[in-house]
């Protein structure tokens, strides 16, 4: 690069500013590559050795090939952090700076996860951990039970969600009534079921009522009743917040058209409120799916066991906690798509529909 007489040569930062886009892209590429090497390389090495039996998985975890993958991933992570942070202030555009920051974050993640994995695989607990939690060969004969448990978990959750929505909507309308005789019982119900542990409600309905009142209730139905009553209390608060988020002018306009209070709620207020509370209701459904694990206290029959019951019984049979890993994966397989759906709905409904509270 030629420099005229009397002219100062460009500084290093100036050169970086002129080349900011390539540098930021290189940094982002290094960050993404570091994580790709870490995760994909680990999967390739372990797959080559085999995940079953557990001895093969132990050999894969303690192999030199995996050590090499982790070291390369950490080295790329360090490079991504360096390339991303060193020229950060010299970046000319906001986009370039964001790319550098993203590169540093990705590189830090690769470095952190790689260091933790390297420490673990070179320790003396690999074989114990693998045989205890990653003995996948034991899960083969249990897959039918796990699928049945997942089905029962969904039946419990959908049943409780259905009845909970009905209870919740009715309770929400009662809870915002101006008449104390209507409002007070609804508030009492909501506060009671929100203020007592769900496990207590399950035991009281499934065990206490049959003993104390002599009313025989099938444990599966008792679980649905308790989950529905509990869900109704929480969904009542969701619906109440949705209804009160509608502008007061909406109901006044409906009443001005000659509608009764209940007609205004039915045709003008509740439809708008329901649209606004769809994401919170989906969040409550995700929580409800996880709450089904508490029915383990009721002693459900083998054909009606949910995921947690199936895993607990499998662990009790051979004293190996690997089925608990399968239980966690089962819950994640059910809840993660729902969580993703909630995020999509929130983005689509985030259109300024926030009213003034009544």
DSSP 148-182: HHHHHHHHHHHHHHHHHHHHHHHHHHHHT-S-HHH
Q: What tokens were used for 58?
A: 């132990």
Length of the chain: 358
In this predicted structure, what is the pLDDT of residue 351? Answer: 55
| Structure tokens belonging to residue 332 | 């994640």
Domain boundaries along the sequence of the chain? 12-134, 140-349
Q: What is the pLDDT of residues 217-269, one digit of tens each?
A: 888 899 999 999 999 999 999 998 888 887 777 777 877 777 777 777 777 77
Structural Rg of the chain based on CA atoms: 29
**Cβ atoms within 10 A of the Cβ of 265, count?**
19
All residue ranges of the chain with pLDDT < 70 are 1-22, 349-358
**C-alpha span between 103 and 105 (Å, rounded):** 5
Tokens found for residue 268: 């003008």
| Whether the Cβ atoms of residue 342 and residue 282 lie closer than 8 Å to each other | yes
| CATH, domain 140-349, list 3.40.50.1100, 3.40.50.1220, 1.10.3720.10, 3.40.50.11540 | 1.10.3720.10
CA distance 246 to 278: 15
pLDDT digits (tens, 9 = 90+) for 154-202: 999 999 999 999 999 999 989 988 888 988 999 999 999 999 999 999 9
pLDDT of residue 8: 52
**pTM of this prediction exceeds 0.75:** yes
pLDDT at 17: 47
């Amino acid at each position: 690069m030629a420099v005229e007489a009397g002219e100062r040569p460009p500084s290093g930062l100036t050169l970086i500013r002129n080349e900011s886009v390539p540098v930021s892209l290189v940094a982002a590429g290094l960050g993404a590559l570091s994580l790709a090497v870490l995760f994909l390389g680990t999967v390739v090495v372990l797959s080559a050795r085999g995940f079953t039996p557990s001895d093969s998985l132990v050999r894969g975890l303690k192999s030199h090939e995996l050590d090499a993958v982790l070291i390369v991933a950490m080295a790329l992570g360090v490079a991504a952090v360096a390339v991303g942070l060193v020229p950060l202030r010299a970046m000319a555009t906001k986009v370039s700076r964001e790319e550098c920051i993203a590169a540093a974050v990705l590189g830090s993640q690769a470095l952190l996860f790689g260091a933790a994995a390297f420490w673990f695989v070179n320790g003396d607990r690999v074989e114990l951990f693998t045989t205890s939690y990653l003995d996948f060969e034991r899960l083969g004969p249990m897959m039918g039970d796990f699928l049945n448990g997942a089905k029962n978990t969904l039946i419990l959750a959908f049943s409780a969600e259905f009845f909970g929505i009905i209870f919740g909507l009715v309770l929400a309308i009662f809870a915002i009534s101006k008449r104390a005789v209507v409002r007070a019982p609804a508030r009492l119900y909501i506060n009671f079921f929100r203020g007592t542990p769900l496990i207590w409600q399950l035991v009281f309905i499934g065990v206490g009522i049959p003993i104390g009142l002599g009313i025989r209730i099938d444990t599966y139905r008792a679980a649905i009743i308790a989950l529905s009553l509990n869900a109704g209390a929480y969904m009542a608060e969701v619906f109440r917040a949705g209804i009160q988020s509608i502008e007061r002018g909406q109901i006044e306009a409906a009443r001005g058209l000659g509608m009764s209070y209940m007609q205004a709620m039915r045709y003008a207020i509740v439809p708008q409120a329901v649209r606004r509370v769809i994401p919170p209701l989906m969040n409550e459904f995700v929580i409800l799916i996880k709450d089904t694990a508490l029915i383990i206290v009721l002693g459900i029959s083998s054909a009606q066991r949910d995921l947690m019951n199936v895993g607990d019984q499998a662990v009790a049979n051979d004293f190996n906690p690997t089925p608990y890993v399968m239980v966690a994966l089962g819950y994640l397989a059910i809840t993660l798509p729902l969580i993703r759906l909630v995020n999509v709905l929130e983005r689509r409904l985030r259109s300024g529909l926030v009213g003034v509270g009544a």
